[in-house]
Every structure is written in structure tokens, then in C-alpha cells.
Structure 1
Amino acid sequence: MGETEKRIETHRLRCLSKLKMFLLAITCAYVSKTLSGSYMNSMLTQIERQFNIPTYLVGFINGSFEIGNLLLIIFVSYFGTKLHRPIMIGVGCVVMGLGCFLQALPHFLMDRYEYESTVSVSGNLSSNSFLCMENGSQISRPTDHPSDCVKEVKSLMWIYVLVGNIIRGIGETPIMPLGLSYVEDFAKSENSPLYIGVIETGAIIGPLIGLLLASFCANVYVDTGSVSTDDLTITPTDSRWVGAWWFGFLICAGVNVLTAIPFFFLPKTLPKEGLKVNDEIIKNDKEEKQREVKKEKDGITKDFLPFMKSLLCNPIYMLFILISVLQFNAFVNMISFMPKYLEQQYGKSASDAIFLIGIYNLPPICIGYVVGGLIMKKFKITVKQAAHIGCWLSLIEYLLYFLSFLMICENSSVAGLTTSYEGIQQDLYVGNTILADCNKDCNCPSKTWDPVCGDNGLSYMSACLAGCETSTGTGINMIFQNCSCIRTSGNSSAVLGLCDKGYECSMMLQYFLILSVVSSFIYSLSAIPGYMVLLRCIKPEEKSLGVGLHAFSTRVFAGIPAPIYFGALVDSTCLHWGTLKCGEVGACRIYNSINFRYIYLGLPAALRGSSYIPAFLVLIILRKHCLPGENIPLGTIFEETKSTGKENECKDTLQNSKELNDEELKTKL
């Protein structure tokens, strides 16, 4: 008898260790998938410049992840639990690694990145052929070889990034639902929230690492190792700069593949944690699960239409979907293009912009989720109270959001674009004002973007257009002298790069970041109560379908289209487009920061403002509508359901709540 008990105890400890191994593995998987997602989102500007594509196309590439996710979500939702879940998760991680590798592949298939410049680094700098010379011939001309032009214009290397992002979305699909369900099935009911909390920690650590990695890669030149950085005439703050975007994708690919390895050694099923294990219990447990799976399979088609009809006729549920779609449209746009906004509005480099987003926005979001959950548990918030808390906190954050319209910087002063050569501000570049009396005889290229900053604080599109006749130094340290368009009492010299926007603009950036900290905290504080209203406004048997339909709607009507139409609106504010060898339009070099600000801040404000109409309707309906168990405090839902024998409903509520929290965090990042 003693030997039998010892064998059972040993088997129990072995199964317990396997559950802990799975917990560690799935946490690492969460870190890897959120690491890849946050890195991809931060590299959009670098990808735009590398492939010389417009912003709306970059938005489509970014939204392709959701397309890949939707391709498998139905299969995973209905058939995932019937297969070997750890192996499916491992395969998903490998697929994500393959997607990341495909995204980095164009770097190795393309030639070196060549930015447009009037200065020929490889040429003879002493010739000064890129400066103002009467009757001179400029070196920056469209190529004389049509074949090179056709090759460049028809280059579709960005499709690798698009396909890779779709594959990454496909691979990410099974990780969250199958990982959480595996823990739910084999962990103690009292340990399950703790385990899922540990898993969610990975979804917090991953984006932080991803943003730091993106900040580092954006500061390293794309062709580092094969090009001498001493010869470069651009810095990370230049709109032509492309960071080593491919390097981070290789790291993400390696991390995803490594996290997949443990899943292939984990069993399909485990005994329930804390129960005595013997062969008879395992056999009965398997038979019971097989009966449940068969029953569920038989009920899928039978219950689908009635459940759909019930959900579509549920006014609170449908209004909540409308609110989510409008809010997600606003936040997907803001987060996707925030690095570009900080670059154009405040003159920061892509590396600094990404780093600031990670430091200022991520911590308050995480703290807001934790505090929101603790408040609901401690004060035993009911459904109607949660609806009011979520609505009014969100409204307060929305009103604070309008302060960001005051934290502005003016357009960069570029002669011929935003100002005249006399330094007088003008709204937009209209007509051919690039040339002036001071440079009309210099035979300068009028489309090439190679800005210099003059002693007078005014920027010029090139040293030639500034009327500079001589130069000293090499690389980024070049100094141009005797510039006829720079009217100063001194030497009338200029240096490479746009002029700095000044101290006042730097202070405005600090105010904007502080406001974003407060706004992120308040909005994340309201997220948990809002989603609990979603979970409690539908019947328990409809929860799975209801949550799936909600996620499907937000992805189809927000996650996919929002970056595309928002990118097209951003493109409309471009003041000067880059020029390829054959004269075709490349990526935008400078935007009208005033119009950009109106679109970046104004469109989300309009979308969010319209979402409060259905939000107030929900509050009105809740006053007259009785929800199932609405008097049960949400903070004690797990204890209440356990004491009344509703373990399945409790499990479903917990799992769906965690899935939604993960989806919200992913969207915010």
C-alpha cells in the first residue's frame, strides 16, 4: 500500500512539474509574440523609407497581420481543443519565426540602400560639382540607363514584408486561446487566476523589449558593416535615414523558434492539478472529455443560428460592438503613426520617438489594468456600476485629450516650401517657388531632397539651392560657404540637415508626453470595467460566440482598414516627395506639420466623440434592462459562481476576460 501511494505522489509531482513547464513555455511564447508585434509596429517608418512606398501602403502591410489572424481563428476556436494543443502552439511559434524571417529577407536580396543626395560620397568631393556653379553640370540626374529605372520602379520587395506579416498573424492565432484553455483545464481553480496573471506578464514584458530593440535598430544604419558610416551625409534625424530594420526581425525570428522547442515535449493532456492520480481516474477523465467534445461538435451547427439571432437582437451587445469599432479605429491610427508624428511635429529621430513611446506609454497602461482590476475586486463593483465607471473615466480622458491640440510646433522653415527665401512664412508650397533670384543661375536640381541649415536659421532643400559655392570637410561634417541665398553679416555658411526646431518645441514635446502618460493610465483604468459589461450582457452559453464576434468585428472594421485610410490622409499632407533615379515618386520627406496635426489628432477625436452616443444609450438601456446576475459583484464573481456550482460559467468568464485584456493591450501597443 505504501508503494502505491508513493507511486501516485511521484506521478502527481511529475505532472505538476509538466504544468509548470507549460506555464513557463507559454509565458515565453507571449513574450516572443508581443515582442514581434511591437517591433513591427515601430519599424513602419523605416520600411516606408527603405522601399520608397507611400504611407497608406505601409498601413496595409501593418493591417495584414490581422488578415492572417482571421484566416485561422475559426479553425483554432472550434477544432483546437481536439488536437494536441502544445504541439499546435509550438507549430504556431515556428510559423511566426518563419514570418519574421521573410520580413527580413528583402534586405539580403536588394542592393545597398541609396538615399537621394546632391553630394556624391564615392565621387571626387573636391570638384564641388554639387554646389552652385554657373553653366555647371549636376551629378544628381535621372539615370541614363532605362533598364535601371524599370528595375527600381517595378521593385516589389515589400511584398515579402507583407506576406511575412500575414504568416506571422497565422502563427500567432493558436497561442492565446489554446494556451489559456490548457492552463484552465489542468490547473486548480484557485491557482488558475494566478497562472494566467503570470502569462499576461509576458504580454507586458514583450512590448517593452520590442520597443527597446526597435529604438536600437532604428539608430543603426541599414547597411552597417558594408558601408562606412564616416562617409554618410545623413543622421538618424534625417527623413532619408533608414535604420537596421531587418536585424530586429532576425532576432524576433530566432526568439520565436527557440520558444517553440519546449512545446513539442509536452503531453497532450495532464491530470487535474491537486487530484490523486490513478489509471482509473485518467481513463474516466478521458472518456468524459471525449463525450463533451462530441456533444460540443454536435451542437455547433445546431446552436449557431439561434445564438447569432440572439446576439444580433441584443441592443447592449450590438451597441458595445459599435463603441469598440469606433474606439479601435481611433487608437489603431494613433499608435501606428505615433512615431511618425513625433518625428514630423517635434523633430525627433525615429529611434528617440520609439524609445519615448515605450518609456512614457507602456508603464501607465500596465498599471491601469492592474489598478482597474483591484478596484473592481475590492469595492465589489456591479455591472451597472462598471458601465458608469468605464464610460465616465473614458469621457474624462477624452476631454483631457483636447489639450494635445495646444502642444504644437510650427512647420520647419524650409525656403521654397514653408517659407520664402526672405524668411516669410507661407501656408503651402504653391507653384514653382523653389528657385529664387539668388540661385536661379546655379543649375540646381529642384526635386532632390538634401537639406542644409543656414546661419540665418533657415533650411534649404540643398546646398546648391542655398547658393553655396564652396565646401570644406567630408561626410556629415561638411560645411558649405559663400551661400548667396543666406543673407547674414558673417560668412553665410550652412551645414547638412534641417535646422533644429528650438527649445520651445522641445518643451511642447515634454508636455505632450506627460499628457500621454495621464491619458494612457485613465483609459486603461476604464478598459476592464467596460469589458466586464460585455461579458455580462450576453448569456453564458453565448459567451464564446459573442466574444469571437466582437473580436472579428473590431479586426475587420478597425484593425485592417484603419491604417490604410489613415495613411492615405497622412499622405495628403506631404509637402515634398522623395525622387527615385528615374524621377518616380518615393517616400515623403517632409509633411505640413499643421495639417498633419489636424489629421493625427482631429480624426481620432471625431471617431471617439461619436462613440459616446452609443455609450450613453447603453447607460440608458441598463437602467431599464435586467442582466443575468447583475447584482453579483464582479470582483467576487469567481467565488459566487463556485459556491453555486457554476464552475463552467466561471471558467468561461475568466478565460474570455483574459483574452479580451490581451487583445486590448496588443491594440494599444
Structure 2
Amino acid sequence: WYAQRPSETEKCSCFCFSVFLQVFLAALSFAYFAKALSGSYMKSTITQLERRFDIPSYLIGIIDGSFEIGNLLVIAFVSYFGAKLHRPKIIAIGCILMSFGTFLIAMPHFIIGRYKIETSVRASMNSTNSLSPCPASSPESNRAGCERESSISMWIYVFLGNVLRGIGETPVQPLGISYIDDYTQSENTALYIGCVQTISIIGPVFGYLLGSLCAKIYVDIGYVDMETVTITPADARWVGAWWLGYLITGAISLMSAVPFWFLPKSLPMPVDKHDTSCIPEQTRFIKDSPTMEHKFRPEEPANLHQMAKDFVPTLKNLLGNPVYILYLCVTIIQFNSLIGMVTYKPKYIEQHYGQSASKANFLMGMINIPAVALGMFSGGVVMKKYKLGVMGAAKFAFGTSLLGYFLSLFFLAMGCENSKVAGITVSYTGVEGLSYQERSLLSDCNSGCLCSKKEWDPVCGENGITYVSPCLAGCTSSSGSGRNTVFDNCRCVALADTHTGNLTATLGQCPTRDSCDNIFPYFLALSVLSSFIISLGGTPGFVLLIRCIKPELKSLALGIHTLATRTLAGIPAPIYFGAIIDTTCLKWGYKMCGGRGACRIYNTTAYRIVYLGLTLGLRTVSFFFCILCFALLKRHVKREEKNALTNGSAELESLKKEENSSIQCEQFTLASDCSPDRETHL
């Protein structure tokens, strides 16, 4: 009885195991939150960066993809060597690098000058004098003495900072998930992974909310008098305080590194499987337990040279698994669709439904992202409740993805018409359906002024048509100042208006039509529903990845999976999505010293077709690979079951032999007990 009582050391081992496991789960969840926060905030500032640095969408895609470039540089080595070293401390170092990269992204704001807006609006508060928007000379002639600003290359700092942020994020997922899988029971692994990923989804919620808040604040807040800023957050030239959020997310990433410094390389494991002071989660680390054999890796080499020597054979072993290769193909294609869609979804909401950047980010954070979090958590609960195996998880993930795909087809029908912009989408007489060759910003009504065709200073006429500038609207005078400026005697407004009088125009584009506003709530509802259904298969699909490979290859498999998705999806998807979106631009902005800048207005119909068409087309292709993957996975499962049945028969035969030996011992011995020595003698 005394020998069976747990010693003080064993009690401490059980207690320490429980504490360290809980601390690691909490720390990993916070690290996931921090990296998701900074990543989602980066996507929420896509429009702001594009306008601030006057760059097209494809270049923004390169900046966004630079995060994956950082991952690409180190992911394979971190996943392989990191799994054999001190995983918590490597994660801590990664979090520190991630924070430094985030701070570097914000640095250009403190280097370049103030943001300048091309506008014909008078900044003075004195409204007694009128100002003619018609220039006395050509605006292009005033650019001769323009000095090129250093802000043209400032986006390079954002690019490099995002690369460093990607390097720092590298060890969090592969080392963190493999650490959890090594020290939790098989039936609880899916739930723990689901919980960690669900908490990480909270990061994008706060990321987009932070992006919404910063987008409302003017970029040079504290440096300029806000009364002199004549544009609103709904204007295509508005730039929010994008830099402020990066300072906040960088500080949070730095905080996430602290707990990992105090965690051990491996958790203390009880050695006695009959230790009643330990809960089942703790006593499952018994090397002779047949249900836990997949948790233990073989002894690792003692030096880096031997580890490096074994890297290539290990990699060949992993890539020789056809199920794993097909799984990679499916996820790469689906990640191309997902990353491209998520990157430009706030911009799609802005351009297609006429919402401000602040509102688009707010809706993404408060409506769309929580649906994804609930879906991922629910997927983990379903796996635990119904104890889904490998095939069950694969069928569940495929079914939810297919259902979400069919729901997404309805997005194609939820379109809005182009905004009425004179000379771009409609003629100056209000006739819609201009072809590209017939578009012209110049007309008889504005021929009396030397108007620039490169400016974008929109005004809304009383007739509901937007004009590119007050000059192109034919306005000859103005009253008021700042945001209250009103342009009078606009001759072009009279061409598409039936009534006469003092025709005026006000600052900004005309609001979207009521029909588009009525469609927008349905778009949001369908977006939430489809996001929830698709994300249901996220956790089962992730568990499928780590269950279709050998236990000793888990960390490397997760690393290669991350490497492949980052390289073949995370890097190219934002670039070619952005390049295709650029083809739908109707009016480009121009930099102060010449050269094309950011797009001011898009063809909403073409934008919808290329954006949704490319997203759904990629997912269609992925389903063909899913069918082949199912066939191979089914054969793989049958082969594993056959091997397990063969091993079970061998064990049963061994037990029968032991039982027969015991019976023979009882028959031939005359003593009360049959000792091993006695049995051998007989």
C-alpha cells in the first residue's frame, strides 16, 4: 500500500504538468491573437496605404505578400530544427521580431512630410470673397518646378517591416501546434487546437475594429488644423491614421513574447501510470500505453550535424506521402481563393457599395470575423462530440466547403450599377453606357476653362451626377469655405437638368442609389452565413493534416504546409488579384510631380465579375483535387486498419501463449505459487 502512494516528487510532477500546460495554452492563444491582430490590421489599411503612397493595387499586393516572403525564408528550418530545440523560447524570439517589424512599418509616417491633397477648395475661413474654380493657366504648367518627394519610395519600409513580421511569426504555428499535440490526449487535441484558433480569430475582430477607428482619424492628426481639411472619410483621397494602429499592435506583439521565456523545453511527465494523484490528461504519458504510441517521437540526434544529415531523407519520406501531397494541392488552391478574397474584401465593400473605409473595416470586424470564429470552434466541438475519424473529418470539411461554395454563387447577383460620373460612366447630358472610346472629360460646357484631366476633386451636381472637378463641371464661382464650399453657375449641370436657375454643386461624390443600399444588408447576411459554413471545416481539415502522416513528421509537415501555402498562395494571390482589379479602374489619380498614382473610381460591374469570378473559379478547381484526395485517403485508411488488425492478432496470439504457459505451470507444480525460476526449472 505504501509503495502505491504517490511521492512528493510525483505530486509536484503532476501539478507542474497541469500548470505548465495551461500556461502554454494561454500564451500560445495570446501569441495567435497578437499575430492575427497585426495581420488583420495590415489588411484593413490596404486602402490607406494605397492612397498615402499613391501606388496601384498590385503593388499593395506585393507589400501584403511580403509577410509570406518572410515566412518562406525560414519556415522549413524553424519547423525542422525548432522541433528538436527549445520550442517555447524560439516562439518568444519570433514574437519579438514580429513586434520590431510592426514598428518598422509605422516608421515612414515620421520620416515623410505632411499629406497633401490636390483641391481647388479655399482653406481660408473667410467666406466673403468668391473664388473661381476655373484656373487662369494650365495646371500642368505649374508642375515644372516640382521637387520630387521622398515619399515615393517610403513604401519600401512597409515592405521590409512586413518581411520581418513574417519571419517572427514563423515558429508560432508549427512549433505551438506540435507542442500541444505532444502533451494532450488524442480526443482532446482537436478541441484544444480549435480553442487556440478560435481565440486567434478574436485578433482579426479587434484588428478590423482598430482599422475602423484609425481610418476615421486623419493621417496628420495633431499636425494640421482639422478645419482646413476639406475632405471626409468617404472621399477617395482620404487617408486615415494608419500608422497609429501599427504602434499599438507592435506593443501587443512584444508583450506576447514574455510568457514563453518561463516555459520548459518539455513538460514534466509522471512515470507511474497508476499515480492516482494525476488526472487522465497527465497520466497519459506512459510509454507502454498502446493508445499513446503516436505521441512519442523516436530519440532525436544529439547534435546539429546529425540533424542536418537526416533532414533530406526525412523530407523525402514526407513528400512521398501521396495523401499529404494532394492535401497540399487542395489547400494551396483554396488559400489562393481565400487570401485574395479577404485581402480586397473591405475595398470591394467600399467601391461596390459606396461605404467608407472605416465602415467597411467595422463590418468586417463585428459581423464577418465572429462568424468565422464561431464556425471554427463549432467544427472542433463536432469532431469531439461525434469522435470523427480521418474519413469523417475529410467528409465533414468537404461538405461544408461545398455548401459554402453554392451559397457564394449568389454574390454574383448582388450587384450595383456604376456611379454616375460625367465623362467616365455617363455623358455630360446624362446618357449612360459610355464605351471606353467615347469617354471624354472635356465638353462644350467646360471648354472655356483650362481644366486638368488628371485631377480628382469630385463635386456632386444638383442633378445627381458627379463631376471630376468643379472646373470640369463648368462652375465659374464659389461661396463659403472649407467643407462648406458651394460652387455656383455650373454650366455642365444644366445639360442634364430640366430646371433652370443658379445650378450648384457641392463637395464630394454623389451618394449611392437607394437600390444599392437595399442590396447591401442582404450581401452582409449572406457573407456571414457562407463564412460560418465554410469555417466549420477549418478545424477538422487541420486535424486531418496531422493525422494522415507519421507522428515523427508532424512538425515538419506543418512547416512544409505553411511554407507551401505562404509561397504559392500568400505571396502571389494578393498580387494577381490586385493586378486584375487594376484593370477595372476608370480614373487614375496622379502624383504631384507626375506619374500614375492610386485609382479613384472603378467600374463596379467589372470589379464584381473579376473579383468574385476569380474567387469562385479557384475554389471550383480545388474540388476536383478533393475527389482524387478522397480516393487515396480511403485506401490509406483501409491499409492502416489492416495493419492495426494484423498487429492486434499478433498481440492476441501472444496473450494466448502466456495464458497456456500459466495453465501448464499450475498443472505441473505442487507448490502454492509458480515463480519464474520454478517455471523455468520445470
1:602 aligns with 2:613: yes
1:218 aligned to 212, 215, 218, which one?
215
2:532 maps to 1:525: no
Instruction: Answer yes or no: is 1:508 the counterpart of 2:519.
Output: yes
Structure 2 SS opposite 1:293: coil
1:169 to 1:632, Cα distance in 2 relative to 1, 3 A = farther
The aligned counterpart of 1:159 is 156
Matched, 1:617 2:617: no
Distance 2:565 2:17 in 1: 39
Residue of structure 1 equivalent to 2:74: 72
Q: Aligned to 1:485, what secondary structure does the other structure show?
A: helix
Tell whether the 8 Å contact from 2:581 to 2:607 is kept in structure 1 after alignment: yes
The letter of the residue matching 2:29 is T
Partner of 2:253: 256
Q: 1:258-277 to 2 correspondence within 5 Å?
A: 258-272=255-269
- In the TM superposition, residue 430 of structure 1 has moved relative to its aligned partner by 3.0
1:405 to 412, 421, 425: 412
Shift of 1:594: 1.3
Question: Counterpart of 1:332 in structure 2: which amino acid?
Answer: I
The match for 1:563 among 546, 569, 574 is 574
By how many angstroms is 1:338 displaced? 0.5
For the Cα contact (< 8 Å) 1:97–1:252, is it kept in 2? yes
Which residue of structure 2 lines up, in the alignment, with residue 85 of structure 1?
A: 87
Alignment correspondent of 2:54 = 52
Greater mean deviation of Cα atoms: 180-189 or 370-379? 180-189
Change in CA separation of 1:81 and 1:395 when aligned onto 2, cut-off 3 Å: closer
Query: Is residue 471 from structure 1 mapped to residue 478 from structure 2 by the alignment?
Result: yes
Per mean C-alpha deviation after superposition, the further-off stretch among 307-316 and 518-527 is 307-316
303-312 or 24-33, which moves further after superposition?
303-312
Distance between the aligned counterparts of 2:622 and 2:84, measured in 1? 39
After TM superposition, the structure 1 = structure 2 runs for residues 90-489 of structure 1, keeping only pairs within 5 Å, are 90-121=92-123, 131-132=133-134, 136-137=136-137, 142-146=142-146, 148-149=147-148, 151=149, 155-183=152-180, 196=193, 198-272=195-269, 292-294=299-301, 308-309=315-316, 312=319, 314-430=321-437, 433-487=440-494, 488=497, 489=499
Residue 561 (structure 1) shift: 0.8
Change in 2 beyond 3 A, CA 1:272/1:31: same
Deviation per residue, 1:324-379 (Å, 9 max, x gap): 22211111111000011111101000110111112222122122222223333333
**Inter-partner Cα distance in structure 2 for 1:336 and 1:417:** 27
Alignment partners' CA distance in 1, 2:480 and 2:223 = 22
TM-score by length of 1: 0.84
The 3 A distance-change label for structure 1 pair 29 and 324 is closer
Inter-partner Cα distance in structure 2 for 1:124 and 1:290: 78
Structure 2: distance between partners of 1:265 and 1:604: 44
**Distance in structure 2 (CA, Å) of the matches to 1:460 and 1:501:** 14
Distance 2:29 2:630 in 1: 37
Give the distance between the partners of 1:302 and 1:7, measured in 2 at CA: 39
What's the CA shift for 1:70? 2.0
Partner AA of 2:442 in structure 1? L
CA distance in 2, matches of 1:483, 1:606: 46
Q: 1:302 to 1:15 in 2, by over 3 A?
A: closer
* CA drift at 1:200: 3.4
How big is each residue's C-alpha offset from its partner over 1:520-554, in whole Å with a ceiling of 9 and x where there is no partner?
Answer: 11211233444444444444455444443333222
Rg larger for: 2
Q: CA deviation at 1:405?
A: 0.9
Match of 1:42 in 2: 44
Q: Give distance in 2, aligned partners of 1:557 and 1:189.
A: 31
Cα deviation for residue 199 of structure 1 reads 3.5
1: CA distance between counterparts of 2:80 and 2:483? 58
Structure 1 counterpart of 2:153, which letter?
A: L
Distance 2:178 2:338 in 1: 29
- Quick one: percent identity of the two aligned structures? 47
Q: Secondary structure at the match of 2:586?
A: strand
Cα deviation for residue 475 of structure 1 reads 1.6
How big is the shift at 1:252? 0.8
Amino acid across the alignment from 2:59 = L
- Partners of 1:342 and 1:353 within 8 A in 2: yes
Contact preservation (8 Å) 2:584, 2:607: yes
Distance 1:443 1:401, change over 3 A: same
1:417 & 1:601 partners in 2: Cα distance?
A: 24
Q: How far apart in 2 are the matches of 1:227 and 1:475?
A: 14
Give CA-to-partner distance per residue, 1:56-108, whole Å, 9 cap, x none: 11101101111111222123222224444333222222211111110000000
Equivalent residue for 2:590?
579
Q: Are the equivalent residues in 1 in contact too, given 2:122–2:481 (CA < 8 A)?
A: no
Measured after TM superposition, the shift of residue 187 of structure 1 is 6.5
Q: Distance in 2 between matches of 1:64 and 1:127?
A: 51
Aligned residues: 623
Q: Distance in 2 between matches of 1:19 and 1:382?
A: 25
Deviates more, 1:226-235 or 1:52-61: 226-235
Cα distance change, pair 307–628 in 1 and its aligned pair in 2 (3 A): farther
Aligned CA distance change for structure 1 residues 296 and 369 (closer, same or farther; 3 Å): farther
Residue 507 of structure 1, CA deviation: 1.6
For the aligned residue pairs, the C-alpha RMSD in angstroms reads 3.6
Change (3 A) 1:597 1:316: same
Contact 2:193-2:539 within 8 A present in 1 as well: no
* 1:31 aligned residue: 33
